[in-house]
Structure 1
Amino acid sequence: MKQPLYALMLLAAVALGGCQAMGSDPLAGDARALPAACQWPREPAASREAWVRAAMAELEARGFAIRSTDLALGVVSAERTTRQPGLGAIDEPWIDGGMGWGGWGHAGGGVHFGLGMRIGDEPVQVERVSLVVDDTRLMLTRDSRVVADDGRVIDSRPYNRDAFCREVSGAIQSRLLNREGQP
């Protein structure tokens, strides 16, 4: 009889240990987990403020709205929302039906059948970007969430892509070069 109890305790310890190891924020990432293109060296010639301002201009040019910045810390947070037409059909029934019987002392019953389509707004993809400029490098992180019109999260994941990071880093560096060449 003791073996099932020990097995249950072991299973509970493993389950709780796994929850503790995951942490509370699945999108929080370690800099080592970022693709190489999402981290690049900071040119010492340009100030932290110049990098942040160039990053803000580039993200705004790409349709992101700047949500917060801290020039002294070298942090920029931005967000872009894109409608996802057609994605609202996921998990939405086309036909529904059911049957029920009266309660609270009343006799009765009924059957209903009909189209279960609902008319509403399409889901939106919310991309969030954070850029950190420290003394030696820049780190760019991006995540994506697809949210239904009722607030339900359909999809949520890190969205760090090499191509995006290369494009953004090159454009920010280009903005810095063009700015330095101006009087």
Structure 2
Amino acid sequence: MSILETDRLIIRKFCYDDWRDLYEYLCQETVVKYEPYNVYSMEECKEEAVYRSQNDAFFAVCLKENNKLIGNVYFQQQQPTEFLTWEIGYVFNPAYYRKGYATEACKNVMKYGFEQLGAHRIIGKCNPENTSSWKLLERLSMRREGHFIKPAFFEKSNEGKPIWHDAYQYSILAEEFHSMK
């Protein structure tokens, strides 16, 4: 994975020292509400920083001015690999919301996917209740392809039954992305 840059951001591999900034946002209930995990402790963030530093699917999004980690982008090739489809996801520190950082970072990662990795298609999924997420996907010029009814669950009830949730799926093709320039 290359280091990617925008006017305001550096998008790079995670390193162990990122755990503090990672904890700053992954410890917040509102941040992880729609994620397949719960809030992280400091110790868990230390382990997660190591895990992410060894996993090419995670990009650390940092401010160029001071290298502060403000969020992350997940970008992973889907199976079967010959279909050349990648999935994008993102989680950002609320202290940096509404400044365009997530849009800027995701556009840059998508450009990397299409131009460097040869992606044919990039998809994004989110819970329909997560309005901020699907609005971001639409700002990225992705099209809503489906509303899936209860395809997954991330937690169970006190009785041990899955708490199912709906999902939107968005996508954009390489030729659509390139025609936006």
For the aligned pair, the TM-score class normalised by the smaller chain equals under 0.3
TM-score, normalisation: structure 1: 0.27
Q: Which has the higher contact order (CA 8 A, sep 6+)?
A: 1
Bigger CA radius of gyration: 1
TM-score, normalisation: structure 2: 0.27
